[in-house]
A and B are shown apart, each in its own frame.
Chain A
Amino acid sequence: MELIQLTPWDLSIAALLVLLLAALSFRLQLGIEKQLLIASARSAVQLGLLGLVLKVIFTQSNPLAIGLLTLFMLLVASYEVMNRQQRRYQGYWGMGVGIFSMFLSSFSVTLLALLVILQADPWYTPQYLIPLLGMMLGNTMTGVALSLDSLNQNAWQQRASIEARLMLGDDWHTAIAGIRRNALRTGLIPIINAMAAAGVISIPGMMTGQILAGSAPMEAAKYQILILFLVSASIGLGSMTAIWIGSKHLFDERQRLRLDRLTQPKR
């Protein structure tokens, strides 16, 4: 089966729908049109650029260029994680927590998939590496952002309880254990929901893509299962790492609660 090529005209029809939505929002004074248009324009430009970059990278398969692209993806993901925090860490930690936890989780899970499961040759074949890593990072980013936001918001709101436990001689682990558990749950709920709904309520994006591109449905399903499992491992590992080092950073060497290491929320 041959993939049906999309013409600019085809994309314009879809874009028209978005414009229509924006006009409707403007008319009804819903106030969402600006954000909607910016986001749509961003996605069109970003994906277009990605298409161009990948075209070059796929033909050259230069390890250095691939490495740089993955680093760029990691930095942007970390920036997004930081940006989604109501109360972020001051200084280097703001970006650092995201970079470290996502590097540890997404990169190692991708590496495992490339070396052991897919056994691509060479292992850094960009046709496999880039989309895989992108899926890991994109999902892990959401998990880490949700986890850290929950951790820091709750630590702020429940600071009196945390300190009450410290005053009575509990160590910092015990004092923040409940908040940590909640943070991990918050980070993992989206992927658990996605796995529960997969195939019954929704056909996941990747499987849709493969089927549209002409793959046999069973092959597409196997790939999708692989991706879901890998993604949940990456989210879990990333969220746990971020929560671990993030919560440790909320206390100093004398186990004092140091909320002054968080910034005030904007607004």
Chain B
Amino acid sequence: MSQLRLHNLQVQQRPPINLEIAAGQCITIAGPSGCGKTQLLRAIADLDPHQGEVQLNGMAQEAIPAPQWRCQVGYLPAESAWWREQVGDHFTDPDPKLFESLGFTLAWLEREVSRLSTGERQRLALLRLLNNKPKVLLLDEPTANLDQTNAQQVEQLIHNYRQIEQAAVIWVTHDQSQHHSSTAHYCFKGNKLEQITWN
């Protein structure tokens, strides 16, 4: 069971946000750039100072040591960063099945990061994150730089991961493309987060 709960979460003077995401649930958040989507995800991952409460399975964020919290609440930024030359230096105990699900093999671990395309880097960053087995996924436009085939593979992988691990997922997109598997959609109107319903 992993349930993510935001109670009056406030980032940089914006209106407080209340949200609850059940285990295995996926919600999308849309809105124009600069409306605070990324800031929201960074606050949930505890990368920026914020007010209000974030809870995972009833445990408050500040009750868990920060590195442990970030292991469980995995954040995938829109642009991935790498700190060593080789892909493999960024993985501990990589799972070959995970690699195959996005069309990679473990041979990719030998590659140099600087020679990868943006899309390859983005997909490998997702694998790097999932390798930690987080209970919550915070995804910042994970398919933005991908062609259709790769985007579908990534969506499928996230869908499967969510079901098997019963993970809660927040999926940030700047367009309104709806993911068939999401159960709720939110949108920033001005700087307020509102739920969207389609009748």
A residues neighboring B (CB under 8 Å): 158, 160-161, 163-171, 178, 252, 254-257
Contact = CB atoms under 8 A, between A and B. Distances in A.
Central interface residue in A160, A166, A167, by most chain B CB within 10 Å: A167
B128 interface: yes
Contacts of A178: 83
Interface string B128-152: 1100100000000000000000000
Given A160-B79, A161-B83, A178-B83, A167 B49 contact: no
At the interface, is chain B mostly helix, strand, loop or mixed?
loop
18 contacts: A163-B47, A163-B77, A164-B82, A164-B83, A165-B83, A166-B47, A166-B66, A166-B70, A167-B74, A167-B75, A167-B77, A168-B70, A168-B128, A169-B71, A171-B66, A254-B66, A256-B47, A257-B47
Contacts of B83: 158, 161, 164-165, 178
A261 to B, nearest CB: 12
* B45, B47, B83: residue with the most chain A Cβ atoms closer than 10 Å: B83
A51 to B, nearest CB: 52
A164 B81 contact: yes
Contact of A169 (B67, B79, B81): B67
B68 interface: yes
A171 B74 contact: no
Contact of B132 (A161, A168, A254): A168
Interface residues of B, number: 22
Contacts of B71: 168-169
Contacts of A160: 79, 81
A255 B81 contact: no
A38 to B, nearest CB: 43
A256 B75 contact: no
User: Among A164, A168, A257, which residue has the most Cβ atoms of chain B within 10 A?
Assistant: A168
B48 interface: yes
Interface string B36-71: 000000000111110000000000001000111011
A257 B62 CA distance: 16
A178 B89 CA distance: 14
Given A168-B74, A254-B66, 15 more contacts: A160-B79, A160-B81, A161-B81, A163-B77, A164-B82, A167-B45, A167-B47, A167-B70, A168-B128, A169-B67, A169-B70, A169-B132, A170-B67, A171-B66, A254-B62
A158 to B, nearest CB: 7
B82 A256 contact: no
Nearest to B138: A167
Contacts of B132: 168-169
A169 B46 contact: no
B1 to A, nearest CB: 21
Given A167-B75, A168-B129, A256 B81 contact: no
Given A171-B67, A256-B66, A164 B80 contact: yes
A249 to B, nearest CB: 15
Given A163-B81, A168-B129, A178-B83, A256 B68 contact: no
B95 to A, nearest CB: 15
Contacts of A255: 66-67
Contacts of A171: 66-67
